[in-house]
Structure 1
C-alpha cells in the first residue's frame, strides 16, 4: 500500500500529541444518536426542545435563514447532516453524500467536474471541454461557510472533514442567497475554534477496491485556546488517496471507410492511413485520485458582544486518467467492466485557496454580521479526444489530398488520429455581505443586508487534434516544392502563437459583478402558533466576456509558422440586468410538536454570452439562424406546502413536503456540428413544470435501534414548445420556424431542438429513496459498539432532453448531445465498530453489491462513455480523540 508523505506527517504528529477533546463537546461515539432534527422549536419558543428530547433524536441547528434555528423550524425542504453523522456515514465527498439526498442528482464527470441538480431542474450536461467559457452558471449554489463556490459545470469537490454540518436547501433561495441558488443550495459549514477547550482528534483508514488499487486516508484536528475565553485557533490537515479501478486497456485505432460519413474511403483506397496504438499509456487502475488539504481558523472574542473569525483553507485534488469507461472501444471492440481505450495522457488537477472572515457584533438590540471571502481556484485538465478523428471535423484537421481535408493538394494522406484537449483555468471570487437583524425572540423580527460579489474566470482552452505537419522551414520548403502540404501553427491574435497541434480553442475571460440588497420580516400573529414572513432581494448584475476564439483554416496552409491570418473572433461583450426576487411563507404550529407551512419563493441564475454570432442551420447553402451574442437569466417560481412533526414521545420524526415549480425562459445549449455549427451556443428556450413530493423520517424503535429514511417522487415536464426561428432578415422563411436544413438539393427535416410539450427533462428520475438502520449497544468494561446498514435507490433518467438524437446503438457519433437512458440502480453500504475511552475502530463497506451503474452517460468525446459509481470498497477506520 502506498502512503503519501502528508499521511506520514499526519501520523507522526499524532504520535507526539497529547490526549484531549477537539470541540469541547461530547465526542462522536458509537452510542450517539443519528443527527436528525427533533420536534419543531421556533425562536419564540426557546424552551420547547428539552435535553431529554435532544438525547432521543438529536437536534441539528441550521442557519438556512441567516439565523440559528432547529432544522424543524425552517419552512422549506431541508436536509442537514451533522459532523457526527458524516463520520458515521463515512462521507468525505459529495459522491458519498448524494446517496442520502432524494431529489438531488449529480452529473459527475470526475472529481470536481460536474453539475448538481435538484428536483429535476436540468437541461442536460455536455462535459467539461470549454466549460469555463461556454457553460451556463449552475442553478444550485455551493457555499463553504458564507463564501460562494459556484463555477460553471465544475462544482468544487470540498473534502468533508471537521465539518459542523452540511445543509442541503431545496427550492429557490434567491432572496437570501441570490443568483445561482435558483434550484437550491448546498452549504458546507466548518467547525469554529473553541475558546475554552484544548483538544483534537485523529483518524486514519485503509481499504481495498474491488478490481482496483488500495485506498488510504488520514486527517488530524487540533483546537488550541491561546488566550482561554478570548482567542483560539483551530487547524485541520487531511490526505486522501483513492486507488484507481478503471483499466486503460491496450488498443489500436484503425481508420474505417465509414469515418466522416464515408469521406475516409478515398484515403484508405490510396493507402494513406496507418494504424495507431495506445501502448505507451495503457495501464491498469489508471484513475487514482489524491486529495490533500488543510484549514486554519482563528477566533478572537473582543467582549461579550463582539468577535472576529478568520479562516484560511487550502485544497489540492489531483485526479489521474479519466473517470469514464467505454462500453465499445476505439476500434469497435466490446470492452469489459470498468475499461476504457484512450491514447494520450490524461489528468485533472484542481487547486483552491480560500480566505474567509466574519465579524459578529451587537449594536444595541441589533445583531450585525459582516462576512467576506476571497477564493482563488486553478484547474489544469487534459482529456483524450482521439475519437473525434472519426468525424468529418476530425478528418478536416488530420488529412490532406481530397476535399474532405484541410487541403486538397498532394496525395491522399491522413496523419495520426491521436488528439486531446487541454484546459487551463484560473478564477477569483470575492464577496462581501453585511447583515443587520433584530432580536430573534421578538414578536416582530427583521433581517436586512447588502451584498457585493466579483467573479472572474480566465480560460485557455486548446483542442490539440491538428496532426498535419506544421510549417517549419523544412516542411514548408517541401510543400512549396510540390510535396505534401503543411499547416502553420495557429495564432489567436497577432503575436500570440499557440502550441503546435492546436486546431481550435479560445483565450477567454468572463465574469460578473453583483450588487444586491435584501430584507425579510417575520411577525407572530399568534405567538408560538402562527407566523408570517415576507422578503425580497434587489439585484444588479454587470456581466462581461472578452478574449478570442481561434480556428485553423485553409489560409494557414503552406505559409510560415508565425503568420497571423486573422482567423480568430474577438469577444468584447458586456451587459447589465437587474430585478427583484421575493419569498413569503405562513407557518402554523398546530401543536408544539407539529408544524405546517406554505412557502412561496423565487430564484434565478445569471445569463451569459456565446463566443461567436455566426450563421448556422443552412438551407440551400444560406444560413437561417444567427447565433445570439448573449442569453438572459432564467427564473424559477416555487409554491410549496410542508408538514414537520414528531410523534410517540419524540420517538418518531416525520416530515413531508409537496411542491409545484415553474421554470421559465430556460437556458439551453446546442452542439450539432452537421446542422448548427461546430461550436456550442446557448439560447433561452422552453418552460418546465415540476410537481413533487418528498418525505423524511427517523424512528427510535428501541433505545438502541434507529431507522432513518427519505424519498421523493418527482414529475417534471415541458409545458411549451418554442422553435428555433429564422432570424436573418431577407432570407427565405424569415421570422418563421426553421423546419428543414441542408445543402442545395439535399434538404432534410430539422427537428425542433427545444423539445416537445410533455417531454421529461434530463437528470430527472421519477423516484429516489434511501433507508438505513443503526443499532448501538454497550458491553463489559465500558465498550460501546454499533452496527449500521442502509441502501439507496435512484430511478432511471436521461442525460439530455427528449428531442436530442437517441444514442442507443449509435457508433458513428457526430455530436456530443446524444441522448442516453441511464438505468436506475441500488447501492448497499454497511459498517460495524467498537469504541472505548478515546479510541474507536470500525469496519465499513460501500457498494456491497458491486453495482457498476453509470451516473453520467454521454457522447462528449465522440464515443459513448459512462462514468461508473465506485466498485465495492471494504475498509477499516481507526479514530483517536485527545
Structure 2
C-alpha cells in the first residue's frame, strides 16, 4: 500500500502533539459579539451539534435533541428559527458520516443533484433547476456561471462548471441553503448556497486532534488519509493560532483496458469510405497508456488561522488556506469501447494520458467590532486558483470534423492534394485555467434584542478567469523544413502549426481553441429590516439588494484552415477571431419573511425571495441554420442574466419535550429567461453558444425529521418530491433581416434539394428539465452506548435514494442506442439508485477507532452520463469501500 510522505508527516505531528494537554476538555468559544462572524465558528469539530439537531455522539447520555446554531442570515440563530429550507452538518457529524468531499455529502441532501465529471469538475443543482451539463472542455470560457453559490467562510468559490471541491476537515459545519439567496449572497446564489464554515482559533485552551484511515475499494486500489489539527493560545485570552494539515489518497478503480481503434468506412457519415477504398485505413492501439486503476486522486492541503482579541469590543481574524487536488486518468467509463466492443463494469478505452490538477490558495480576513450599539463586520478575501486538465478526445475522429484534421487526399480532409491517407486518430484536449477572485464586504447591524432590527452592508467583487484551451487532434504532419520540402515536391501535404495571433505559436497538433480573459466586477448594497409585531411570536422581515455588474470577455478564438496547408511553421495566416466584449447590467433582488411562533417549539413561515446569476458571452457570432444555402440565424455575442422567484411556506417544530423534530416546506418557484447552451454542428455551427430561452416552474415539498427514540438511539432522515416543468415554448427565431421567414420560427434547414425539418431546441411546454429527479430521500439510524466503565461505542447505518433523471432537456436528441455520435448534447436517462453506508466504533478517553463501509451494495450507477467526448460515457459512483479509522484528540 502506497503511503504518501505527507501522510507520514501528519502521523509524526500526531506523535509530537501528544504532550501533556490530553485532558479531553472542550475549549470555550473565542470572544466575539453574538451577531459577529467569529461567533460562527468558535468551537472545535468535536463539540458541535449534529446535522439539523442533536449530535448523537455527544448526546449519547442525553434524552432530548440538541440545538444547531447557524449564520445563514448573517446573524447567529437557532436553525429552527430560520425561515428557509436549510440543512446544517457540524464537523462532528461530518466525521461520523465519513464525509470529506461533496460527493460524500450529497447523499444526505434530498434536494441537491451534482453533475460530476470528476473531482473539482462539476455543477451543483438544487430543486431541479438545471438545463444540463456539457462536460469540461472550454468550460472556463463558455459555461454559464453556476446558479448555486459555494462559499468558504465568507469568500465566494463559485466557478463555471468547476465548483471547488473543498476538503472537509476541521469544519465547524456545512450549511446548505435552498432557494434563492440573492439578497444576502448576491449573483450566483440563484437556486441556493453551500457554505463551508471552518473552525476558528480558541483563545483559551490548547487543543488538537489527529486522524488516520486506511481502506480498500472493491475492484480497485487501496485508500489512505491522515489529518492533524492543533490550536495554540500564544497569548491566552488575547491571541491564538489554529492549524490543520491533511492528505488523502483515493485509489483508482477504473481500468483503461487495452484496445484498438480501427477507422471504418462509415466514419464521418461515410466520408471515410474513399480512404478505406484507397487502402488508407489503419489500426491504432492504446497499449502505452492502458492500465488498471488509472484514476487515483490525491488531495493535500493545509490551513492556518490566527485570532487577535484587540479588546472586549474588537477582534481580528486572518486565515490562509491551501489545497492541491491531483486526479489522474479520467473519472468516466464507457459502456461500449472505441472499436464497438462491449466493456465491463468500470472500464474505459482511452488513448491519451488524462489528468486534472486543481490548486488553490485563499487569504481571508475578518474584523469584528462595536460602534456604539452597532455591530460592525468587515470581511475580505483573495483566492488564486490554477487548473490544468487533459482528457482523451480520440472518439471525435469518427466525426467529419475529426477526419478533416487527420486525413488528406479527398474533399473530406483539410487538403485534397496527395494520395488519400489518414494519420493517427489519437486526439485530446488540454485546458490551462487561472483565476483570481477578490471580495470585500462591510456589514452593520443593530443589537439582536431590539424589537426593530436592521442589517445593511456594501459588497465589492472582482472575478477574473484566464483560459488557454487547446483541442489537439490535428495529426497531419506539421510543416517542418523537411516535411514542407517533401510536400512542395509533390509528396503528402503538411499543415503549419497554428498561431492564435502574430507571434503566439501553439503546440504542434493544436487544431482549434481559445485564449480568453473573462470575468466581472460587482458592486452591491443590501439591507434587511425585521420587526417583532408581537415579541417572540410574530416577526416580519423585508430586505433588498442593489447590484451592478461590469462584465467582459476578451481574447481570441483560433482555427486551423486550408491557408495553413504547405506553408512554413510560424506563418501567421490570421485565423483567429478577436473577442472584445463588454456589458453592464444592474437591478434589485428582494426578499420578505413572515414568521409566526405558534408555540416556543413550533414556527410557521412564509418566504418570498428572488435570485439571479450573471449573464455571459459567446466566443464568436456567425450565421448558421442555413436553408437552401441562406443563413437564418446569427448567433448572439452575449446573453443576459436569468432570474428565479420563490414563494415558500413551511413549519419547523419539535415535539415530546424536544425528542422529535419535524420540519417541512412547500414551494413554488418560477425560473425565467433561462440560460441554455446549444451545440449542433450539423445545423448551428461547430462551436457551443448560449442564449436566453424558456421559463420553468418547480413545485416541490421537502421534509426533514429527527427523533430520539431512546437515550442512545437516534433516527434522522429527509426527503423531497419535485414537479418541475417547462412553462413556455419559445423558438429559435430567424433574426437575419431580408431573409425568407425573417422574424418567424425556424422550422427547416438544409441545402438546396436536401431540406429537412428543424426541431425546436428550446423544448416544449411540460418538458422536464435536466438533473431533476422526481424524488430523493435518505434515512439513518445511530445507537450509542457505554460499557465496561468508560468505553463508548456506537453503530450507525443509513441509505440514500436518488430517483432517475435526464442529463439534458427534453428536445435534445436521444442517445439511446446511438453509436455514431455527432454532438456532445445527446440526452440520456440516468437511472435511479440507492446506496447504503454503515459504521461501528468504540472510544476510550482520548482515542477512538471505527470500521466503516460506503456503498455496501456496490452500486455502479452513473451520476453523469453524456456524449461530451463523442462517445457515450458514464461517471460511476465509487464502488464499495471498507475501511478503518483511528483518531486522537486532546
CA, structure 1 residues 485+639, in 2 after alignment: closer, same or farther (shift >3 Å)?
same
Where do 1:507-522 residues align within 5 Å?
A: 507-522=515-530
Match of 1:6 in 2: 6
Pair 1:76 & 2:76 matched: no
Q: Secondary structure at the match of 1:328?
A: coil
Match of 1:672 in 2: 680
Q: Deviations over 1:280-325 (max 9, x none)?
A: 0000000000000000000000111100000000000000000000
1:173 to 177, 181, 186: 181
Q: Secondary structure at the match of 2:683?
A: helix
Match of 2:611 in 1: 603
After TM superposition, give the deviation of residue 781 of structure 1 in Å.
2.3
Indicate conservation of the 8 Å contact 2:353/2:390, yes or no. yes
Match of 1:24 in 2: 27
Pair 1:239 & 2:239 matched: no
CA, structure 1 residues 314+38, in 2 after alignment: closer, same or farther (shift >3 Å)?
closer
After TM superposition, give the deviation of residue 12 of structure 1 in Å.
1.1
Pair 1:187 & 2:195 matched: yes
User: RMSD across aligned C-alpha pairs, in angstroms?
Assistant: 1.4
Matches of 1:174 and 1:180, distance apart in 2: 8
Match of 1:701 in 2: 709
After TM superposition, give the deviation of residue 469 of structure 1 in Å.
0.5
After TM superposition, give the deviation of residue 35 of structure 1 in Å.
3.9
Match of 2:751 in 1: 743
Match of 1:141 in 2: 149
Matches of 1:440 and 1:391, distance apart in 2: 64
Indicate conservation of the 8 Å contact 1:38/1:54, yes or no. no
Q: Which moved more, 1:613-622 or 1:684-693?
A: 613-622
Match of 2:425 in 1: 417
Where do 1:434-833 residues align within 5 Å?
A: 434-833=442-841
Indicate conservation of the 8 Å contact 1:38/1:646, yes or no. no
Match of 1:45 in 2: none
Indicate conservation of the 8 Å contact 2:174/2:194, yes or no. yes
Matches of 2:401 and 2:25, distance apart in 1: 58
Matches of 2:156 and 2:270, distance apart in 1: 49
Indicate conservation of the 8 Å contact 1:22/1:200, yes or no. no
Matches of 2:856 and 2:60, distance apart in 1: 36
Match of 1:37 in 2: 53
Matches of 1:37 and 1:586, distance apart in 2: 23
CA, structure 1 residues 477+201, in 2 after alignment: closer, same or farther (shift >3 Å)?
same
Matches of 2:887 and 2:809, distance apart in 1: 46
Q: Secondary structure at the match of 1:378?
A: strand
Matches of 1:761 and 1:729, distance apart in 2: 33
After TM superposition, give the deviation of residue 731 of structure 1 in Å.
1.2
Matches of 2:588 and 2:463, distance apart in 1: 21
Pair 1:126 & 2:142 matched: no
Question: What is the total number of aligned residue pairs between the two structures?
Answer: 870
After TM superposition, give the deviation of residue 36 of structure 1 in Å.
2.7
Match of 2:31 in 1: none
After TM superposition, give the deviation of residue 95 of structure 1 in Å.
0.3
Pair 1:262 & 2:270 matched: yes
Matches of 1:82 and 1:844, distance apart in 2: 19
Pair 1:198 & 2:206 matched: yes
Q: Deviations over 1:181-216 (max 9, x none)?
A: 000000000000000000100000000000000000
Matches of 1:464 and 1:59, distance apart in 2: 55
Task: Using structure 2 for the length normalisation, give the TM-score.
Answer: 0.97
CA, structure 1 residues 93+620, in 2 after alignment: closer, same or farther (shift >3 Å)?
same
Indicate conservation of the 8 Å contact 1:351/1:377, yes or no. yes
After TM superposition, give the deviation of residue 38 of structure 1 in Å.
6.9
Matches of 2:62 and 2:572, distance apart in 1: 71
Indicate conservation of the 8 Å contact 1:38/1:53, yes or no. no
Match of 2:67 in 1: 59
Query: Which 5+ residue runs of structure 1 have no aligned equivalent?
Result: 40-50
Q: Which moved more, 1:562-571 or 1:219-228?
A: 562-571
Match of 1:48 in 2: none
After TM superposition, give the deviation of residue 643 of structure 1 in Å.
0.4
Matches of 1:208 and 1:785, distance apart in 2: 23
Matches of 1:586 and 1:52, distance apart in 2: 36
Query: Which 5+ residue runs of structure 2 have no aligned equivalent?
Result: 29-42
After TM superposition, give the deviation of residue 234 of structure 1 in Å.
0.1
Task: Using structure 1 for the length normalisation, give the TM-score.
Answer: 0.98
Q: Secondary structure at the match of 2:158?
A: coil
Match of 2:335 in 1: 327
Matches of 2:837 and 2:116, distance apart in 1: 20
Indicate conservation of the 8 Å contact 1:22/1:222, yes or no. no
Pair 1:374 & 2:407 matched: no
Indicate conservation of the 8 Å contact 1:23/1:194, yes or no. no
Matches of 1:86 and 1:632, distance apart in 2: 38
CA, structure 1 residues 663+177, in 2 after alignment: closer, same or farther (shift >3 Å)?
same
Q: Secondary structure at the match of 2:682?
A: helix
After TM superposition, give the deviation of residue 623 of structure 1 in Å.
1.3
CA, structure 1 residues 52+646, in 2 after alignment: closer, same or farther (shift >3 Å)?
farther
Q: Secondary structure at the match of 2:731?
A: coil
CA, structure 1 residues 23+515, in 2 after alignment: closer, same or farther (shift >3 Å)?
farther
Q: Deviations over 1:635-683 (max 9, x none)?
A: 0000000000000111100000000000000000001111111100000
After TM superposition, give the deviation of residue 160 of structure 1 in Å.
0.2
